[in-house]
Each structure stands twice: as structure tokens, then as C-alpha cells.
A and B are shown apart, each in its own frame.
Chain A
Amino acid sequence: MRKFVTQRVIAMLITLFIVATVTFFLAKTIPGGPFTKEKALPEAVLKNIEAKYHFNDPLWKQYTDYMVNLMKGDLGPSFRYDALTVNDIVRKGFPVSALLGFVAILISLGLGIPAGIISAYKQNFWQDNFVMFFSILGISIPNFILATLFMYIFGLKLHIFNIAGWGRWQDVILPAVTLAAYPTAYIARLMRSSMLDVLNQDYIKTARSKGLSEYRVMTIHALKNALIPVVTYLGPLIAAVFTGSFIVERLFFIPGLGRYYVTSIYDRDYTVILGTTIFYAAFLILANFAVDIIYAFIDPRITYSTEK
């Protein structure tokens, strides 16, 4: 287990290094810069700005400076937001996005798993059709339509929630449900198919023939194995929803991290492009790593120990 962890940590550092390097040079190749403005800046002004942010240094020096600061945990200043450093942006945005993502994942697991089980157990009955109908809706309706629909119905017409905003606990609900729609539907389908798969296996037949109650068969024997694909999906899912969604946060006016992945590119805010990309990559790797560890506990076929 220890060897496995060490290997993974080294691999993770190498991956992050590559991600940072590639992103650094890619970002610099986009035409225009952070100070390309409709009203062209006089040369003297541009020169002062370049000197201040060291844009006139050779590219390799800018790169090594950035990497050295990165090792120290300093992600640099933002060029678009004078008042914020990239560390500020992540520190402030991530907890907001993570809370939203956490609630969304609770919703998608809480609804998706039971729906998938029922659907599998009552295969081809109305319960199954019902679940599958909604899961198709959840998968195919884009976020922004769902968000606008929710805002219109629950905000403008029914006045249950504010249209948009952040700061009161109610403000989490509409965006979290919007964010949860797709993963809920996906988990339900995943759960259904893996449950059906497991239920046809010999050991389930054995369990049934031993006279175990249907409830015990479903929960103890089938569920644990059927959960494995869901756990696999959970890694990237957590990384995606915890680090923020551009569309949901923009529509619901939430000060999370999601907007920066996109706006930083439009703004040519190099350090923010890099900072958010590296942060996302690190989070994704860690989430997948956590999934691999969880496997060891729920899947008897997987083990990381080398002693035995």
C-alpha cells in the first residue's frame, strides 16, 4: 500500500509539472495580451506596465520565475483584478464552489442510487420506465435551460427563491439542483445497469438458493459490487462539480471558482489561467486517487498490498 501511494504521489507531481508547463506556453501563444484594449495604450504606458509585470523578460525567464514561485505556493498576481492575487481567487472561490458541489453530489447520490436500484429491481415495470424517462431528461436538458426554467418558475412566478445571489442558505438550492441534474440521471442509469449485471451473477443465485431474504440479497450482496462503477464515476464527478461550473455560477450569480476558468482566457489573465488549471488538475488527480483507495475496500478483487 505504501509503495502504491508513493508511486502515485510521484506520478501526480510529474503530471502537474507537465500541466503547468504546457499551459504556460499555450496561454502565451494566444493572440493579444491582458492589456490589449479597444483604446490603444500609448507606448510609454505599455512599457511601464510591461516592466511592472516583467512581460519584457525573455520567455524562459518568465517561465522559470513562475515555476519557482509555484513551488513556494505563490500563484502570482491577477492582471485583470488589481485587488486580487491568484491565491486570493482560489481561496475565496473554491469554498463557495465546493459547498455547491457538495450539496449537488449529495442530491445526485441520494436520488440516483435508490432510483437505479428500484429501476433494476422493477425492470421493465412502470417504476423502471418512470426513472428512465426522467434520467433521459436529466441527461439531455442543458444546464442553462434548466437554470433559466428554475429561476422563472421558482423565482419570478412562485417567489419561493430569489432569482439569483449568494449569502443565504436558500440560495444553494436552485443552483445545486441544476448542477445535480446530469449526475443524478447518469448515476441512476449506471446503477441500474450494474445492478442488473450483478443480479445475473452466480453468487447472487447462490445467495437466493440459500434462502436469504430478497432484502439481504439486494443490500448486502448485490449493492456493494454494483456500486463500483458509481465510485469510479465519482472521482471525476467530484473534481468537476467541486471546482465550480461556469454556466451555473454565472447564471445564478455565485462568486465561485467556475467563472475564472473561462473568463481568464478571454482576459488573457495568464496567471489565473495557470492557477485555476493547475488547481483543477491537482484536484482531479487527488479525487481519482481517493477513488482508487476506496476500491480496495469495496472490491475484493482489487488489492494494492505487495506482501501477500
Chain B
Amino acid sequence: MLKKLTILMLVVAMLGTFAGCKKAAPVEEMVLKYNVGAEPQYFDPRKATGIPEFTMLLNLFDGLMRYDNQGQIVPSVAESYTISPDGLVWTFKLKGTKWSNGEPLTAQDFEYAWKTALSPEIASEYSYQLYYIKNGEKYNSGELTNADEVGVKALDDKTLEVTLEAPTPYFTSLLSFTTYLPINKKLDQSNPDWAKSADNFVSNGPFKLTLWDHNHTIEMVKNTNYWGKDKVKLSKIVFTMVEESSTELMMFENGEIDWGPNPPLPELERLQSEGKLIINPYLGTYYYLFNVTKKPFDDVRVRKALMFAIDREAIVKNITKAGQLPATAYVPPGVPDATPGSDFRKVGGDFFKAYDPDEAKKLLADAGYPNGKGFPKFVLLYNTSEAHKTIAEAIQRMWKENLGIDCTLTNQEWKVYLDNRNVLNYDVARAGWIGDYTDPMTFIDMWVTGGGNNDTGWSNTQYDEYVKTAKSTDDQKIRMEAMHKAETILMAEMPIGPIYFYTRPELIKPYIKGYYTSALGYTDFKEAYIEKH
């Protein structure tokens, strides 16, 4: 009897820890429930790298510039700015704004944030996003030890002077990026761990952090100290970290979340026909890499033959099924060109046909493998995923049918695959790239000789030259022309073969309005609201 009683009491005590978690909400509360899908790796804006972090931090913080609902970059904490004629010195006048704890935000907060983000001690993974600033890279690598030489300086409380390494016309777009956000200098100096829990977290954006239950939930409420609080309509956002896409879907259908960014692939068609899915733009390209240091992929005709033999329309229509576009160039649509309103992709046009089996056969024969005779067996590598596997199988079949060549498929766990790709331990591999900022350069400068992300072994001095030209001027006409020429070389040489341009299919309740979701992947809820439903 005593034993039973003890067990009973234990159960009661354990269940008791659950009590008192639910609060009655006032009627007019407007709460958005968004599944962000993952616990942030870093919640200090100076270190944050992932899209889930961007979405949360951009709602908590406000930078000098911010994208508005129309996708235009506009001054936010900054009131105005001037640029020196050589494009190197940017002077920002700040609005008189406050931190969520009521303290005034000053230009020193920006200066401090950027300099500490670049300091070797903090070892921020994304410090290189600040390499545009004069001496940023030198200070970060330890070559320079005096932080005063870094090109950011608060002239007074409301004036920030930024000196750049080179003219950077897309610098305004970078300023909305998490690495360029301010942090509260006083707080960081007194408590370096402020970004590790909700207790001491201070931000300056539309929302402020109230709860951080690790690997489960983050909650933020409207920040009444925000300068633009009149436009903020949501009273609260609940970010859940559900990783399993089937759970996310059921929670969405059951009304437990309003927004789920990872719908299960097999359900896409059904969800789309039921109107539960919204397909958002995503600035990215899905492509295959060739190891050009290996025979027979050192022959451009072979690379082209393999790429032309792929039926891209069939892949986006039958496999990916979420409005993706067949890629017949490298830089995806959605990046502005030199003249206002123009698109880099439209100006650049297509470089090859989405499917050209005849030309592919011809090229392969020219390369010495008529009908695939004598073509060495090779391995197509992809990181373990059902979607990549399906695409690889389709392409394997297309190569067999159109060119008569055989390949085997190998999948590897993510980091093993990255490692092998990086040391060129592969023949042909799947890859993808999402832009970091809205400029063709985020795609183009990857393929310079010896570039950290150039996992092909490919090198072309003319290409390097064009990239250099584009990086040395802020004359958009010259820049864009140089990048178009660079892309032309890349597509003529084909160390990589584009397959499709990404989209972002997401589960979004139709009554969520007023948000801005960027083609870079994050979503801003500053002006979002929930319609009566």
C-alpha cells in the first residue's frame, strides 16, 4: 500500500511541473504561430548565420536599412545617408531611437557591434560579411590589431561614418543583414552572455524576446520602445522548432501553427490543390558540379554533352513540383540589372536549351565517345536526401537513354559529402547555392580561381579579370556588363551545369497578411497581421 502511495505521489509531483504554463489571452491579442524549424545556432546578431536565425533576429532587431513590404530597401534606424563621390565613405544620420529596455540607441552601438563582430576573439562565422569595411578582413585575420583602423566610426551619437574597401553599390542591401545589426554596447560589456537566454536579451526591433525554451519555443512580443511601433500589429509571435515535416503539416492542418516552411515533398501536389501552399521566390540555383581535374570531365564537350542531355522541364514538372524554373543560366531571376526595373537574368537571357539531346549526342561523339562507347564509368554524388536521390535517378536514366553512358549513384551524409566535394574527391556532384544578398556578385564571385566555394578545380583568368573589374567600381553599367561576360564564360566552359532555379513552397494560412518574405529566405513580420477568419 505504501509503495503504491509513493508511486502515486511521484506521478502527481511530476505532472505538477506542467501546471501554470497556460495564460488566458485577452481577446484582442494577435498571435502568429510560425514554425521556424530549428533551434538557433547563434542568437547574437554578430554571429548568426542561418535562415531561421535571420527570420527571428530581423524581427527582434532593426538595422540602418530595412526592406519594406514592397521589397524596397529603405532607411530604418538611419534617417538618411550620403555617399562620397568615390563611393567609399558612407555617412549615416541616425533617427533618435531606443533599445527595448528604453536606453537610447547611438551610433556607438553600431561601431561597437561591427568591430567586435570582426574581432578574432569572438570568432564569428559570419565576420566575413563585414569584409566590405575598410581593414575589416585585416583586423579579423589578426594582421591588424588596432580596432581604430577598422573603417567604422561614430562621429557623434547620431552620426556613423563607414569607410569601405571598394565601392559597393549593394551596400544598402547588406545593411539589412544580421551581421550589420547594432547591439547594445553597455549591455554587452557588462554581460557578454546576454544573447544566450531571454532574461537579459535587449534588441531594438519591432519585437522583443520574452521566452526562449531551447530546442522548443521562442516567443517575442511587440516592443513598445520601437520607433515604428505604430505599424506593428502583431502582439506576439510564437516560433516553434518542429523538425519533423509530417508533424509540422499535421499541426498546420490542425491549426496549431499558422506557418510551416518545410512541407513534405510527397504532399506538395495535394496541398497546392487545396490552397494551403504558397510558393515564395527563392534566390538560388540547383546545379551539378564537375570535377574538371579528372578525365573525361576535363573536356568541355563532355561536360556540355552531359548537361544538354538533361530534360529540365521533366524534372521540375514531375519531381520538384513547386513552380521551379528550368535553369538555362547560372544566376537566378530576381536580381536587378543596371537600369532600374530590369532583371539580370532577363538581360543575360538563356545560354542553352532546357533540353537538347541531339546537340548532346554530337558533342559526346566529338569528344571521342560516339553513342557513349568507351565512356568510363563514373559516380554521381549527392548528399543523402529523398529529393536529390529522385533527381539523380532521373538524370542517370536520361544520360543512359540519350548518351548511352552509365553512372552509379552514391549518397553521402551531409558533412562527409561536403568534405569530399571540397577536396575534389568526386566525379560529378549535386550542389545548390542560395544568394547572400541581392546582387549577381553573390553567385558570380564563387568561381574565381581558388575560391573557397569553387569545388570544381576550374580556373579561368579572363573570368577572374571580369570579377575583379566588377568589384572595383560602383558604376552599375560597368559592373553588370562585366558580370554578364563572366557568366557567359562560365556557361561556355560549364564547370557547373545549372538544373533549376529554386522556389520556396511554404504552408501559410490565407489569413496571414502584410508580411515581407525575402527571396533570400527570411520573413519580416514587422507589419504583418492576422485577418479575421
Report A's interface with B, CB cutoff 8 A: 30-33, 35-45, 47-49, 51-52, 80-84, 88, 92-93, 95, 99, 102-103, 106, 148, 151-152, 155-156, 159, 162-169, 171-172, 250-253, 255, 259, 266, 268
Q: Would B125 and A41 count as touching, CB distance under 8 A?
A: yes
Task: Give the secondary structure class of B's interface.
Answer: loop
Q: For residue B17, which residues in chain A have a CB less than 8 angstroms away from its CB?
A: 95, 99
Cα(A242)–Cα(B413), bound, Å:
29
The chain A residue with its CB closest to the CB of B414 is A266
Q: Does B214 touch A at the CB level, under 8 Å?
A: yes
A-contacting 9-mer, from B116-124, B167-175, B473-481, B522-530: B116-124
Contact with B215, one of A32, A167, A171, A259 (Cβ below 8 angstroms): A259
Q: For residue A41, which residues in chain B have a CB less than 8 angstroms away from its CB?
A: 125, 128, 452
Q: Would A252 and B39 count as touching, CB distance under 8 A?
A: no
Cα(A252)–Cα(B242), bound, Å:
9
**Residue-wise interface mask of B (243-273) relative to A, using a CB-CB cutoff of 8 A (1 in contact, 0 not):** 1101100110110100000000000000000
Also in contact, A148 and B246, with CB within 8 A (given A82-B42, A82-B196, A164-B256): yes
| Nearest chain B CB to A94 CB, angstrom units | 13
Closest 4 CB pairs of A and B: A32-B415, A44-B141, A40-B452, A83-B196
Q: Would A255 and B215 count as touching, CB distance under 8 A?
A: yes
- Chain B interface residue count, CB cutoff 8 Å, equals 63
Q: Would A250 and B196 count as touching, CB distance under 8 A?
A: no
Cα(A33)–Cα(B167), bound, Å:
35
Contact with A44, one of B19, B40, B137 (Cβ below 8 angstroms): B137
| Nearest chain B CB to A231 CB, angstrom units | 15
Q: Would B418 and A37 count as touching, CB distance under 8 A?
A: yes
Also in contact, A32 and B214, with CB within 8 A (given A82-B41, A253-B240): no
Compute the total of residue contacts between A and B using a CB distance below 8 Å. Answer: 159
Q: A37-B418, A38-B432, A48-B121 are in contact. List 20 more A-B contacts (CB 8 A).
A: A33-B415, A37-B125, A40-B452, A42-B128, A42-B131, A43-B141, A47-B120, A48-B140, A52-B123, A82-B41, A93-B215, A103-B11, A106-B11, A151-B247, A156-B254, A164-B250, A168-B18, A172-B18, A251-B247, A253-B251
Q: For residue A250, which residues in chain B have a CB less than 8 angstroms away from its CB?
A: 243-244, 247
| Nearest chain A CB to B320 CB, angstrom units | 19
Contact with B123, one of A51, A84, A152, A165 (Cβ below 8 angstroms): A51
Q: For residue B240, which residues in chain A have a CB less than 8 angstroms away from its CB?
A: 165, 253
Q: Would B251 and A163 count as touching, CB distance under 8 A?
A: yes
Q: Would B47 and A92 count as touching, CB distance under 8 A?
A: no
Q: List 17 A-B contacts (CB under 8 A).
A: A31-B415, A31-B419, A32-B418, A39-B436, A41-B125, A45-B127, A80-B41, A99-B14, A151-B247, A163-B247, A169-B19, A250-B244, A251-B246, A253-B241, A253-B242, A255-B215, A268-B415
Q: For residue A36, which residues in chain B have a CB less than 8 angstroms away from its CB?
A: 415, 418-419
Also in contact, A83 and B214, with CB within 8 A (given A44-B137, A44-B141, A49-B123): yes
